[in-house]
Amino acid sequence: MECPKCKKQMRKGFLPVYKGRLFWAPEPERIPLFINSKPKDSIVLSDYTLSLPLKAEAYYCPTCKMVIMHEKDNQTSDDSAENPFM
């Protein structure tokens, strides 16, 4: 994937999701008190999980120090030897 800011190639990787859910929330929302709730108008980036860790695909630009990922459709559970949580 090409970085939208500097146009250099981004590195493909993932964000680990373990015992919870990954989401983006607009300012000035607060961090929710309960793990299964989410702030108003937030965008869910991964499903809620308590058992198997999930991997949410993401791309990183080392030049711009930016991570880009898509919404919820890009995650998989991973029980392979590569999984750092297993």
Domain residue ranges in the chain: 1-27+41-73
Residue 84 has a pLDDT of 38
CA distance 57 to 15: 6
CB 52 within 8 A of CB 24: no
Q: What is the pTM of this model?
A: 0.67
Residue 71: pLDDT band with limits 50, 70, 90: confident
